[in-house]
Structure 1
Amino acid sequence: MLSAIVGGILMAEPERWQVSTDAAEVYESCFVPAIFGAWAGPVADAAAITTGNKVLDVGCGTGVLAREALRRVGQKGQVVGLDLNEGMLAVAARAEPKIQWRQGDAASLPFDDASFDVVVSQFALMYFPDRVASLSQMWRTLAPGGRLAVAVWASLDRARGYRILVNITAGRNGHEAADVLAAPFVLGDQAGLAKLFADSGISAASVTLHEGSVRFASVKEFIRIEVKGSPLADMLSDDDMESLARQCERALAEFVEPSGEIIMPLDAYIVTASKG
């Protein structure tokens, strides 16, 4: 569920990244423990979420970061998770009914100015069709003295396993399929990311690189989850997926542990800013 586009492949249009509830279930049961769960703590730390805060998670997906925020704000705080994707929100609501889940567009947030002490967004900004408007809206809804923290993936060059997968998929299945895998890395240029925030009216943003990794039970499981948990599920047949997995088992051998588990580097930028 990670995808960019770099190296001559055109990025898939962000508004096309919609998934069914079934795919959202795969996201929650597979991607969250393998990838996203490990980042909820660092993003919450960067945002300095604490007891009593009112927190907004924009592009919340199935809610892993929102759930971490809820744990930190306690009974005196409040957490709202917003996403455009109904499938993601359905899974999120089942996982944690104490959070207020809202369907909405990041570029037109349905909240008053200065509504939140903390606004966060984890690995969603790259999919927003209008990133400047979305960041401006996050800043608008943040109260004076409030804190913003936004995580995006670093470049494909800092995720070599995914770079290999993208290249193989482009050769086997064409650029449209490869675009799905590469799209998440489109904001991986540090200078470009800082400019994006400045263009959005957030001039004092700090962009910090954080090293991370991704872990799956096997190469075959990695490929299965990447396909079934994304729009690739409608683009590749089961035979295509099996064939892709066989080729990737050879190409990704350097990342495979003696146990058969695959562990690959996957770094991210966390952008932070305080308001006023």
Structure 2
Amino acid sequence: MIDAANTYEALFVPALFQQWAPMVADAAKIESGDRVLDIACGTGVLAREAARRTGRSDRVAALDPNAGMLAVARSLAPGIDWQDGAAEALPFPDRSFDVVVCQFGLMFFSDRDKAVREMLRVMVPGGRCAVAVWDAIENAPAFAALVGLLDHVAGRPAGDALRAPFALGERQVLATLFKGAGANSINLTTCKGAARFSNMREFVEAELRGWLPVMGVVLPEPQIDRILAEAETILARYVTADGLAFDISAHLATCRRP
């Protein structure tokens, strides 16, 4: 699990996730002195951004159910309060935080409605929340192409593991979720970003060796070799002089606790 988390931090964070942390922090209006909770923190890229903005790591708590992710997160920022736990049952009292953030985690919660209600519960009245989820996979054609290849070579479970991050791509579903949980001042914005990997192989291996194992799918080496070989063709259009690059967009949902 730690090996997968190290791969996630070394490859995914700089290529894909780092750019979104300041955007989520801006949307949440994190300020000096705020008490902040990062839910589904992974290896902690957003929690570290929050700590920088609050000016004190001890004002930031971060939660994830994956022990490997937390081990890497603790090694990078030991001053943050890293906790093992689920979004549906946050281990914090009511009204503990001024700000709650969640970057690309909501899609994976077993009970999304309960998770959003828990976010609101631990916020102070008037507290701020910002959540990022990926846009529909149709708007990320490089991922859609790789999903098709995984379906063909490794089977539907492998493809579904890569589809999972895009499960909340429909804006209306996201709006209904927050409204149903009782949030106020709900706002949805779709933001453009870019994925940049040093080469095609790095991107595909990041998915096969970094992401799929986190989702419980470990492919045998012969399958990985075949996918890498066939990906050369299906991803050729995204190869640039600087490596592999493609557009990707995300929805940012903000709200307040009544």
Class of the TM-score when normalised by the shorter of the 2 chains: over 0.9
Q: State the shift of 1:85 in Å.
A: 1.1
Would you identify which runs of 4 or more consecutive aligned residues in structure 1 move more than 6 Å? none
Change (3 A) 1:99 1:158: same
CA contact (8 A) 1:114 1:144 kept: yes
Q: State the shift of 1:192 in Å.
A: 1.0
- Tell me the SS of whatever aligns to 1:98: coil
Cα distance in 1 for residues equivalent to 2:66 and 2:154: 26
Cα distance in 2 for residues equivalent to 1:122 and 1:216: 20
The alignment status of 1:267 with 2:246, answered yes or no, reads: no
Of 70-79 and 150-159, deviating more is 70-79
The alignment status of 1:176 with 2:157, answered yes or no, reads: yes
CA contact (8 A) 1:51 1:77 kept: no
- Give, as a single letter, the amino acid of the residue that structure 1 aligns with 2:238: F
- Tell me the SS of whatever aligns to 1:205: strand
Percent identity (aligned): 43
- Tell me the SS of whatever aligns to 1:267: strand
Question: Which residue among 231, 236, 240 is the counterpart of 2:223?
Answer: 240
The alignment status of 1:249 with 2:232, answered yes or no, reads: yes
Change (3 A) 1:238 1:182: same
Q: State the shift of 1:34 in Å.
A: 0.7
Unaligned runs of 5+ in 1: 1-19
- 2:187 aligned partner: 206
Question: Which residue among 127, 135, 147 is the counterpart of 2:108?
Answer: 127
- Tell me the SS of whatever aligns to 1:30: helix
Unaligned runs of 5+ in 2: none
- Tell me the SS of whatever aligns to 1:150: strand
- 2:33 aligned partner: 52
Number of residues of Structure 1 aligned to a counterpart in Structure 2: 256
Q: How big is the alpha-carbon RMSD for the aligned residues of Structure 1 and Structure 2?
A: 1.4
Of 69-78 and 152-161, deviating more is 69-78
Cα distance in 2 for residues equivalent to 1:209 and 1:77: 32
The alignment status of 1:75 with 2:56, answered yes or no, reads: yes
1:100-136 CA distance string (max 9 Å, x none): 1111111011111111000000000111101100010
- Tell me the SS of whatever aligns to 2:99: strand
CA contact (8 A) 1:126 1:187 kept: yes
- Tell me the SS of whatever aligns to 2:19: helix
- Tell me the SS of whatever aligns to 2:16: helix
- 1:165 aligned partner: 146
Change (3 A) 1:112 1:255: same
Cα distance in 2 for residues equivalent to 1:190 and 1:132: 15
Q: State the shift of 1:235 in Å.
A: 3.0
Equivalent residues in 2 for 1:87-102 (5 A)? 87-102=68-83
- 2:15 aligned partner: 34
- Give, as a single letter, the amino acid of the residue that structure 2 aligns with 1:265: D
CA contact (8 A) 1:52 1:76 kept: no
Q: State the shift of 1:207 in Å.
A: 1.1
Q: State the shift of 1:221 in Å.
A: 1.3
Scaled by the length of structure 2, what TM-score is found? 0.96
Decide which structure has greater strand share: 2
CA contact (8 A) 1:34 1:214 kept: yes
Cα distance in 2 for residues equivalent to 1:97 and 1:253: 41
CA contact (8 A) 1:223 1:245 kept: yes
